Amino acid sequence: MANNMDEFREALRQRWASKTLFGSGSAFPVVGSDRVHNFWVVLGIGAAMFYTYFALFPPLVVVQANEDFKLPRIMANAFSGSLVVVLVCILARGYLTRGLLFSSDVSLSSIVQDPTALECIRQGKSQEKSQEKSHLDSRFMPKRSVLIACGLACLPFFVTDGLYIIGMLLPISILGVTFGLPTALVLHAMEDLSWSKVDAVCVLMENHLQQDIPTEKLDAQFWTNLTKRYLMLDRELEQLWSTEHCGPPLFADLALRGYFVAVFFVVAVASPGIQVKAWCVAGATLTAMITLQNLGPLASITALCQSQNAGTPRSVRRLAVRFCNCELFDEDAKAEHARFLQAVTSTPVGLELPIFGMVTTQLLASYAKVVVTAAPVAITFILKAVGNEPTMAELQ
């Protein structure tokens, strides 16, 4: 059974080589050897000690930046202290992800024993007929990294000695990228694995449909086997995203992003400057939107299992209904299909996370309402900040 995880890791390396410019990823933590991973962990601990010292004794450039933003004196210490917390979250997330990747758990090894899923992970794409899967690759798009880089590049225009601040943030930026890329790769692969297993159930039914109409006579054994496979899918998804496997790395990632939102909120409250308030509210809103976007693929997998909305192209539930009262079936086949349909409707399968529950589009929409409510506040602050900027005539 251990060979299954070896094949999974090999598929990840091939995925890494095809999706990034960093070869096989052997020089990165999480996916690299123990020596490489420990080397980066030591660097992370050293950087944490570096920021801890600055949290106790803030450097002059941080104190000056704190004064530029008109923040309370304690915020100069809190700035470096917050970097320590971020580094701890990054290292913890990497540790949990590596534990998942090199797990010897028999149940996890049996779940990844799927040639179709491994090929999906290896190629970074699913079957051509899929439409739900297209946005799962968004995790590897460089848009967010470019956005952060642009934000850091603009820092010298707003802060005295901004270049020194950028140099101070360089260690945590490097560690964030080196640990973040392989972590995203592993979580993305687990999403692909979950999606491919649900898609396989859909394909079994779609192969016997033509323009949404059954075209073949299916015997009772087909529906009996499909019912067993559906119930097995329920157990596999539950185990895969439980607190024993994918749950902890995902929660560590959410905790990191939640901490960023909290930091933005605290600075917005503590700062008397309208500009700082505006950009912090905007930063908190953007971070929350990115977090919801990362959970979007999980919700789409749940929709592939149980969605019955008319706008959904395909789902297990909608496909199962299309075989109801089929004239091609005998009585035994109709009875087994009725049992399969009962299993689908009474046992909603999907991605369920502890605390959050079933990750559905409706759940994310409820969280998005809060973000959408905060967005106009951010826009109002920004417009007010721009409107309060003194003109050249006023300065003269």
Mind listing the pLDDT tens digit for each residue in 161-211?
Answer: 556 777 788 888 889 889 988 998 899 989 989 999 999 999 999 998 887
Res 49: pLDDT: 94
333: exposed, middle or buried (Cβ count in 10 Å: 0-12, 13-18, 19+)? buried
**Type of residue found at 14:** Q
Tell me: pLDDT of 73 over 60. Answer: yes
Percent of the chain with pLDDT over 70: 83
- What band does 356 get if pLDDT is binned at 50, 70 and 90? confident
Task: Please name the residue that has the structure tokens 């979950």.
Answer: 194
Q: Give one DSSP letter per residue of 186-203, joined into a string.
A: HHHHHHHHHHHHHHHHHH
Helical H runs in 307-360?
Answer: 316-321, 331-346
- What band does 151 get if pLDDT is binned at 50, 70 and 90? low
Res 61: pLDDT: 79
What are the Cα distances from residue 377, in Å, to 263, 264, 289, 307, 338? Answer: 17, 14, 15, 34, 52
What is the DSSP secondary structure assignment for residue 308, as one 8-state letter?
-
309: exposed, middle or buried (Cβ count in 10 Å: 0-12, 13-18, 19+)? exposed
- Name the helix (H) or strand (E) containing 214: strand 213-214
Tell me: pLDDT of 298 over 90. Answer: yes
- Cβ atoms 12, 121 nearer than 8 A: yes
56: exposed, middle or buried (Cβ count in 10 Å: 0-12, 13-18, 19+)? exposed
CA 211 to chain CA centroid, Å, is: 35
Q: How far is the C-alpha of 133 from the C-alpha of 129, rounded, in Å?
A: 10
Strand partners, 210: 213
pLDDT by residue (tens digit) across 216-266?
888 899 999 999 999 999 999 999 998 889 999 999 999 999 999 888 888
